Structure 1
Amino acid sequence: MESDEVEDKKLVKVLCLHGFRTSGAILKKLVERWPKPLLQKLDLVYMDGPYPAQGKSEVDGIFEPPFYEWFQSDQDFKEFYNFEECVEKIQEFMLTHGPFDGVLGFSQGALLTAAIPGMQREGVALTKVPKVKFVIIISGAKFGGSKFGIPTLASASFSNPITTPSLHIIGETDFMKEESISLLQSFIDPIVIHHPKGHTIPRLDDKSLESFCNFIAKIQDRL
């Protein structure tokens, strides 16, 4: 009886945003290492960033090109370029391939993902698509935090606590660790998974898998 109930639950449709100068195909390879009990709950859709990589990718030689980026910035990450165009491209993709229940992002994709609930709340972006019901942020950070400036479009994203359910995956040796921890303060009741690796999509141990599956089960109950 219990297995029938699990099968009857709606798949959770998730838009997946890859890291800087990588691709949707690369993110898919890494995410698909996660255990089947989690993956079978999810309908994962991967988007490529709208801009070809404008410099060398750190994964060149490890993964096959082409590589993409979502937007650009100056050397200090204080000024951002093509951000509004990027968000518009995401909305177009969501209209074509959605509706989506939530968004998952890694690294540069996680920066974007963290800002989406606030941009939707403020009515400045992604207004033609339903508000996301949750976000999954892997190696994330906050626009306007200690390391990054904030694009005009996202200027009020963190002006109020974000009530959208959030799952944050933070690496112990990730160079973004402090930024990822700081970001937690912007969300109400964030769920956090820690892992011992660095700036990567980690494999999930039993404890992490349980936390992740519980998070998704709560989302499923609301669909």
Structure 2
Amino acid sequence: MATSTTRKVLMLHGYAQSAAIFSKKIGAVRKACGKDINFVFVDAPHILSPVDIAATFATTNTALDDLGAAEAATESDPALTPRAWWKTDAAKTQTIGLEDSLTYLRDILKGDHYDGVFGFSQGASMAALLAALLERPEVFPLFLVDGKAPHPPFQFCVAVAGFRPRSPLCDSIFLPSFSTPTLHVLGRTDVIVVEERSKTLLDVSSNKRVEWHDGGHFVPSKASWRNFFRSYLRDPLSAIPSPGPAAVSAPQSGTATPTTAETPDA
């Protein structure tokens, strides 16, 4: 795979974030990647109301800061309006609005070419759903354009703090598995997407690489991680050493565990 050509990556933000917030949060990663990677950030179509967010907090005991979206509560800039790819019912067995998000992303995909997709939290789940759906677009007919997929399958997917959503549509997209090469990045102290929850996505990802950081619910951005992301996005199928202090190769479908402590981006 050539590494000298600029690569375009579709970027999907987390719940209660926005494209602008996500772009700011991973500014160090973007800077490290330089001009080799063209990050295309898109806003989710569903705007969250204070009632939506309060309901989420009531059922998960979290706050905007825990979700990496503290700016959404302190700024009036429309670009920072909290958004979501879907909402859930009280039982968390429905992905309300997911169909609209998929058709919205269909229209983005059909207008350009992307080498891969990178998502955080709910956006990571959306990235994996999109990767899986491009493999079998017929399972959701509204995703088709003139009877065909709107875009070729992605060359790679990066899912940071991802999980498998629960709904009949998600089951039809994910089961029995999807095979797009996927990098799963998980935080050992993540209280939002805990290990048990993240495992639900790992179980349906048949061509995976798993990397852990010692932080919580955020995209790690220390120098080792910035360099790792840059190398991965340039050539995801190469033998890239783990971003941990004891750099060892971690092949596809393998697990490598970095031990350097992480702190969230300011």
Q: Provide TM-score, normalisation by structure 1.
A: 0.81
Between the aligned partners of 1:214 and 1:33, the Cα distance in structure 2 is: 15
Q: Which residue number corresponds to residue 45 of structure 1?
A: 40
Q: Which residue number corresponds to residue 172 of structure 1?
A: 188
Between the aligned partners of 1:201 and 1:217, the Cα distance in structure 2 is: 18
Aligned amino acid, residue 95 of structure 1: K
Equivalent residue in structure 1 for 2:11, among 16, 32, 45? 16
1:141 and 2:157 are equivalent in the alignment: no
Matched-pair contact (CA < 8 Å) for 1:168–1:191 = yes
Matched-pair contact (CA < 8 Å) for 1:118–1:162 = yes
Matched-pair contact (CA < 8 Å) for 2:183–2:210 = yes
5+ residue gaps, structure 1: 144-148
Q: Give the root-mean-square deviation of aligned CA atoms.
A: 2.5
1:217 and 2:234 are equivalent in the alignment: yes
Matched-pair contact (CA < 8 Å) for 2:29–2:229 = no
Change (3 A) 1:61 1:161: closer
Q: Cα distance, 1:132 vs. partner?
A: 1.5
Between the aligned partners of 2:28 and 2:7, the Cα distance in structure 1 is: 18
Q: Cα distance, 1:130 vs. partner?
A: 2.0
Count of paired positions: 207
1:101 and 2:94 are equivalent in the alignment: no
Between the aligned partners of 2:14 and 2:215, the Cα distance in structure 1 is: 16
Matched-pair contact (CA < 8 Å) for 2:37–2:234 = no
Percent of paired sites with the same residue: 24
Matched-pair contact (CA < 8 Å) for 1:17–1:24 = yes
| Secondary structure of the corresponding residue to residue 129 of structure 1 | coil
1:62-115 CA-partner distances (Å, limit 9, x unpaired): 56532211111112321121111110011112233x211111111111111111
Q: Which residue number corresponds to residue 172 of structure 2?
A: 156
Q: Which residue number corresponds to residue 242 of structure 2?
A: none
Matched-pair contact (CA < 8 Å) for 1:161–1:186 = yes
Q: Which residue number corresponds to residue 146 of structure 1?
A: none
Change (3 A) 1:109 1:159: same
Change (3 A) 1:23 1:77: same
Aligned amino acid, residue 141 of structure 1: F
